[in-house]
Structure formats: structure tokens, C-alpha cells
């Protein structure tokens, strides 16, 4: 020890520093493995595999107005092209944009490992909002965020989105899949969507032409659609319901989980068709997409402050899932109407003289239509009777 100390003391400070540094490197620094993006949890090859799996789903939604090849940095859509008339569709086009998600319904999809239905929900939540203003859906973009990219799961999600776009008559123009293991737990995912549509300036439906005496038509829902699932999941948990079990009073052919995952109905083609039918007269004076907060919260959004919508609750029959949830959750009827669509996914307000014609036309488009109420003078409220 004395000899070591002596030798060290005779060395110059610079040399001593170099020797100490070398010794520290020799003793303390192990060999470092080269790191990759995959080591951090992001698999680029899996992402590339997803692109190969989904391109067919995207292309089947393309029409002649979609320009460019699949896989570019952005999608291009030609506004002034009509495949039948080869002329401009709109004299004074107004673009309409919407964005929305699926909400906590995706938690149920993840639990059941059913991924090909929530994509349709995603499209529906956007395009059903867009058509309320009288718009024609043009194109859609999706955003999917996951803990880990599992190609066949992502492909199933995008298949659902493409299915929804076909039902809506719009193109799936592009999207993004984000793999973020530090943000999402294993098995978790989220989805968001963005829709763009167009409307003729003079044909925008904004509720400004609503008058006392107008008739309210209700279009049947396919089920719960995509709102209220925090309450749904709470009821399932509290009542100890089995989502894998069939409950005959709900549906004797499907499990409760399958019923709860029934995709949101898309009304776009029916509504666009009826709007095109009446090109001269604006017989439809207002519309509402019945989402979160139900009929009482959504119908007033198109009423203004001079009219009320009086709804007759006995004029349609809610889907069986609603009384089932109400019973097992001991939920008050007022709460049910404040949270859920209660069997009506969309509402159309029509001039009295045209109400029967519009109802019959919508039925021919495949909709189940009920006359559910009437517009009266008021203060912008929805009154349930």
C-alpha cells in the first residue's frame, strides 16, 4: 500500500487523471448492448405489416374522387367531380367537419377481444353528427393508439372503420396507428375519428326554419350506440351480470357482451337521400343525432329559444337492452332518458304536409320510423310526455 501511494504521488496530475479514468472504465463500465426502437416497445415491422393488412379495406371505400396512391403522407379528395354528371356538385359548397371517439365502449371491446365493431361506431359518431347540418359525408380519417401493435387486431379495427365508411358512403382517406407502451397499458387502446362533408350553402339545416306544428320523426337505434357505457359497465359490475352469458329477455341468440357491442347505426345514406329528394323545398327543418344526454339534451340543440319539442314516450318501443339495464341497475326512468338514446338514434323534424311522405321514403331506405312528437311554441326545451 505504501509503495502504491508513493508511485501515485510522483505522477503528474494529468497522467494520474488519465490512469484513474482508464481504471474506472476498465472496472465499472460493462459492455453496453446497442439499443433499438423495438427495445423501447415500438415495433416498426409490425406497423408495416398493419399497412399491408389494411390497404385493401381502405381501397374498397375509394371512389373516383379520391386521388393518388394509398400510403402517401396525406390523402387527396376532389370536390368538384360527380361520377354520373361530370360537373360540379355544388354551386356554393360549405365544408363541414366533425371529430369524435368511441368512448368507454372500447373497454368492453378490449375485454371481449372483439375489435371489428368499434370501427363502425367510430364512423357513426362522426358522420351522424355531420349529416345533422344537411351535409354529405365525403371522407374519413382515423387515429388508433395502442400499447402494442398486433397486426391482426389493428386490421380488425380498420376493417370496422372501412365497413362504416361504406355504410356512410364516404372514403377512408387515411389514418394513423400510434404504438405507445409508456402511455397505454397492455390490452388497452383508443380510437378517434375525423369526418369531412359538404353542403350547399342554401341547403344547410340549422333549425332556423322550424315552426310550431312541425312533426318529429324518430329513427330507430340499433341499440345503445356509443354513449353511456360508463353507466353500462357500472351496472354490469354491480349486478354481477355475465357478459359471456345469453339473457333471453335481451336476445336469445347473442351474449350480453355481443349485444352491448352492437355497432351504432349509420343514418347517412338515408338522410342524404331524403335531402336530395326534396331539392327545391326545404321540408326538413331540423335534425338531431341522439348521443350522450339523450333526447332531452340533443333535440334542443336545433330548436332555438322559441320552440319546444313535445315527445310522446309511448310512441315507440325501446330496444330490450334498455329495460334490462334499468331493472338491474335500479335506474330511474328520467336518468335513463338523460343518458341513453332509449331506442331512437336520430330525429328528423318535418313540415306537417310532408311528414307522411318523408316517413315512407325513409322506411324504403331501410329505416324504422315512428311519429314521436310535435313542435310547439316554447323556450327551447324537449318535453317528454
Look at 18 and 294; give whichever has higher pLDDT: 294
Question: Which tops the pLDDT comparison, 1 or 116?
Answer: 116
List the one residue out of 295, 272, 287 whose CA is nearest residue 342: 295
- Higher-confidence residue of 215 and 72: namely 215
Q: What is the residue-averaged pLDDT of the chain?
A: 87
- Cα torsion 353, 359, 365, 370 to 10°: value is 160
Residue with cell 357482451: 257
The region of weakest confidence among 87-91, 212-216, 257-261 is 87-91
CB 229 within 8 A of CB 108: yes
In degrees and rounded to multiples of 5, residue 315 shows phi and psi of -85, -5
Q: Where are the alpha helices (DSSP H) in 203-284?
A: 229-238, 256-260, 268-277
pLDDT in tens, 87-123: 556 788 899 999 999 999 999 999 999 999 999 999 9
Class of domain 38-203: alpha beta
Q: Which residues are paired to 384 by β-bridges?
A: 311
Question: For position 81, what pLDDT does the model report?
Answer: 60
Domain with CATH 3.90.650.10 in the chain: 215-384
Judged by average pLDDT, the poorest of 79-88, 238-247, 314-323 is: 79-88
| Phi, psi of 60, deg, nearest 5 | -70, -10
State yes or no: pLDDT of 43 exceeds 90: no
**CATH 3.30.1330.10 spans which residues of the chain?**
38-203
State the pLDDT at residue 66.
75
Q: What percent of the chain has pLDDT over 70?
A: 83
What digits encode the pLDDT tens for the residues 312-363? 999 999 999 999 999 999 999 999 999 999 999 999 999 999 999 999 999 9
CATH superfamily, domain at 215-384: PurM-like C-terminal domain (3.90.650.10)
pLDDT, one tens digit per residue, over 269-314 is 999 999 999 876 789 999 999 999 999 999 999 998 999 999 999 9
Positive or negative torsion for Cα 331, 335, 337, 341: negative
152-197 pLDDT, tens digit each: 999 999 999 999 999 999 999 989 999 999 999 999 999 999 999 9
Which region among 17-31, 82-96, 211-225, 279-293 has the lowest average model confidence (pLDDT)? 17-31
79: pLDDT strictly greater than 90: no
Residue-level pLDDT at 86 = 45
Q: What is the structure's pLDDT at 67? A: 76
Say what the pLDDT of residue 39 is: 62
Task: Report d(CA 369, CA 217) in Å as an integer.
Answer: 7
Higher pLDDT, 78 or 375: 375
When pLDDT is cut at 50, 70 and 90, the band that residue 84 belongs to is: low
Amino acid at each position: 500500500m505504501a509503495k502504491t501511494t508513493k508511485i501515485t504521488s510522483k505522477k503528474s496530475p494529468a497522467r494520474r487523471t488519465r490512469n484513474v479514468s482508464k481504471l474506472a472504465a476498465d472496472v465499472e463500465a460493462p459492455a453496453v448492448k446497442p439499443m433499438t426502437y423495438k427495445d423501447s416497445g415500438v415495433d416498426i415491422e409490425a406497423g408495416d405489416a398493419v399497412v399491408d393488412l389494411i390497404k385493401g379495406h381502405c381501397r374498397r371505400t375509394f371512389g373516383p374522387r379520391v386521388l393518388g396512391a394509398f400510403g402517401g403522407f396525406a390523402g387527396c379528395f376532389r370536390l368538384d367531380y360527380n361520377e354520373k354528371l361530370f360537373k360540379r356538385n355544388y354551386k356554393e359548397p360549405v365544408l363541414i367537419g366533425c371529430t369524435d371517439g368511441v368512448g368507454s365502449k372500447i373497454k368492453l371491446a378490449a375485454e371481449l377481444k372483439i375489435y371489428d365493431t368499434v370501427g363502425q361506431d367510430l364512423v357513426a359518431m362522426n358522420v351522424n353528427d355531420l349529416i345533422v347540418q344537411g351535409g354529405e359525408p365525403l371522407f374519413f380519417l382515423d387515429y388508433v393508439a395502442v400499447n402494442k401493435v398486433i397486426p391482426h387486431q389493428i386490421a380488425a379495427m380498420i376493417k370496422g372503420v372501412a365497413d362504416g365508411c361504406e355504410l356512410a358512403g364516404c372514403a377512408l382517406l387515411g389514418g394513423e396507428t400510434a404504438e405507445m407502451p409508456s402511455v397505454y397499458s397492455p390490452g388497452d387502446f383508443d380510437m378517434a375519428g375525423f369526418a369531412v362533408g359538404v353542403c350547399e350553402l342554401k341547403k344547410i339545416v340549422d333549425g332556423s326554419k322550424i315552426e310550431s306544428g312541425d312533426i318529429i320523426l324518430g329513427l330507430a337505434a340499433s341499440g345503445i350506440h356509443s354513449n353511456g357505457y360508463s353507466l353500462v359497465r357500472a351496472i354490469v359490475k354491480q349486478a354481477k351480470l355475465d357478459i359471456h352469458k345469453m339473457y333471453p329477455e335481451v336476445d336469445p341468440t347473442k351474449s350480453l357482451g355481443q349485444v352491448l357491442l352492437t355497432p351504432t347505426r349509420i343514418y347517412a345514406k338515408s338522410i342524404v337521400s331524403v335531402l336530395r329528394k326534396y331539392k327545391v323545398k326545404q321540408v326538413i327543418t331540423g335534425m338531431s343525432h341522439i348521443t350522450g344526454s339523450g333526447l332531452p339534451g340533443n333535440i334542443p340543440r336545433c330548436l332555438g329559444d322559441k320552440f319546444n319539442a313535445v315527445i310522446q314516450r309511448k310512441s315507440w318501443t325501446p330496444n330490450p337492452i334498455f329495460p334490462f339495464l334499468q331493472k338491474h341497475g335500479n335506474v330511474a326512468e328520467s336518468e335513463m332518458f338523460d343518458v341513453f338514446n332509449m331506442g331512437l338514434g336520430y330525429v328528423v323534424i318535418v313540415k306537417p304536409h310532408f311528414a307522411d311522405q318523408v316517413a315512407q321514403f325513409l322506411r324504403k331506405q331501410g329505416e324504422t320510423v315512428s311519429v314521436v312528437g310535435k313542435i310547439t311554441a316554447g323556450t327551447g326545451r324537449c318535453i317528454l310526455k
